Structure 1
């Protein structure tokens, strides 16, 4: 004899659901939360908008402090003077090359090392983690590093920028924490099916780690894109400079004089910092919205364990 399933009055359930209303406290919290988030967003956006406004404003308006959210006395003298320089585009191409190569090498080394350190059964794991943490707080110093790079023959090469910064300890620890939280059952099942360690890493672990990988790519790309001191220290040929060094030299040499850029020296001296900073950060600003979701989820996943 069939058991009769209890009948559920769907109409009554819908009616009771409709009668549930948010409390006054919840409504107040929602409003306050929305207002705070809007204010934080505006405060975060203001410096960039002000920077763009100053980049296209006149010298007199900037000196008088009249520029806030919109250009005053619109001019493009400085922008034209910068982008018309052939060396600017040569150095911009160098920055793209250095960033791509350095990020690729850093991701390979960081991912490999983090995956190894995430294995609890690894012999000497504590010693390796200790050495890694030691390098996070102590460095060899500027002069020993310079001598080392010179002896290795890396001066005036891309390797002077790439190799000394190939592994960020912070990024390494975040990836290590993520891999430690990875389900061990998946790796065990893959091993039973005959996959080697490298097969498990490339066919199981990495495809399921897109969020943390995208986050680390963003971290490394931003760091290498903005890096200027290693190139300033280890490179003598201006044609090998990244754009950050080129723009740094413009700021140092052109502020107040406009020397080397041509055009109206007064206009250039007033807003050259805004123009150069805008040109430097614009690619990162354009790239970030496309990987923001991976950035947020990657950091959350990688920070569950310390």
Structure 2
């Protein structure tokens, strides 16, 4: 009988495996191209002249290079006010969510915790059922959070999906390390802060990315709970532009150029920070998800 290495070599040298590799590479490249096309098209439209956009002649490359709309949007005080709000909401909400999710997940990962199954069941229940839009609105209003930052931050403070990923990761964490730390005199919070968290950078970075992207793209809660335009996130600015609820008359004199690609410019400026953040966290992304999903 052939050894394991010999069998693997024979499979790799087979014609069928070679065809599979070429087909798999072609399919993945095609998926990447289809995924990237909308982003490239938005960038091309953002820098194109109005005449080519209205004719539908802009695809992958800008035509009639133009930055008039960039100058108009970046000179609009409403845009920067909403942009600042989004940064504040995202940073605050992500910090709160990480504290709550991490402590909750660490607690329910301990099998000796009394009532552990009840807490897990509550988390799972929220993944399937919720109170509905009207009860949520009444609750937020009665708590005095409407027209405040907390209407955006608090209702989504814990994601049950993220909670279960972190719980699974903490369950697979080596118990011997925690036991050794307790023998050295650390209490529960000391073990979590000084031992567990420093060794959990991959899953923490992944959760930060999940929460940050979700809060950065959030607009519906602002649409429901906020009446003051000065409190809107930048996604509401973009939503109002796309819905035609925001006038562009005050943005500049070249109204035809601005109206033709203002949505593309606003979308590009809105998604740029997340695109810049992702490369720094990407190396933790796959390992963080797998650590929380695969038994070590």
TM-score of the superposed pair, with normalisation by structure 2? 0.89
Give the drift of 1:177. 0.8
Larger deviation: 157-166 or 213-222?
Answer: 157-166
1:223 aligns with 2:221: no
For 2:66, what is the secondary structure of its paired residue? coil
Give the drift of 1:57. 1.7
Give the drift of 1:261. 2.9
Q: What residue in structure 1 maps to residue 76 of structure 2?
A: 85
1:44 to 28, 35, 52: 35
Which deviations, in whole Å up to 9, do the C-alpha atoms of 1:47-88 show, x marking residues without a partner?
211110011223332233221110122222322221110121
Q: What residue in structure 2 maps to residue 284 of structure 1?
A: 274
Separation in 2, partners of 1:249, 1:65: 23
Give the drift of 1:263. 2.9
Q: What residue in structure 2 maps to residue 110 of structure 1?
A: 101
The unaligned stretches of length 5 or more in structure 1 are 1-19
1:240 to 231, 242, 261: 231
Give the drift of 1:44. 2.2
For 1:171, what is the secondary structure of its paired residue? helix
Q: What residue in structure 1 maps to residue 46 of structure 2?
A: 55
Q: What residue in structure 1 maps to residue 6 of structure 2?
A: none
The unaligned stretches of length 5 or more in structure 2 are 1-8
1:193 aligns with 2:188: no
1:265 to 249, 255, 276: 255
Q: What residue in structure 1 maps to residue 64 of structure 2?
A: 73
Give the drift of 1:154. 1.0
Count of matched residue pairs: 285
Which deviations, in whole Å up to 9, do the C-alpha atoms of 1:193-243 show, x marking residues without a partner?
221111111111101000000000000000111111112222222211111
- Tell me, yes or no, if the aligned pair for 1:55 and 1:271 is still in contact at 8 Å: yes
Larger deviation: 189-198 or 289-298?
Answer: 189-198
Residue 260 to residue 170, structure 1, CA distance change in 2 (3 Å): farther
For 2:287, what is the secondary structure of its paired residue? helix
Q: What are the within-5 Å matches in structure 2 for residues 17-166 of structure 1? A: 23=13, 25=15, 27-166=18-157
Separation in 2, partners of 1:117, 1:60: 59
Give the drift of 1:260. 4.2
Larger deviation: 156-165 or 108-117?
Answer: 156-165
TM-score of the superposed pair, with normalisation by structure 1? 0.87
Q: CA RMSD in A?
A: 2.0
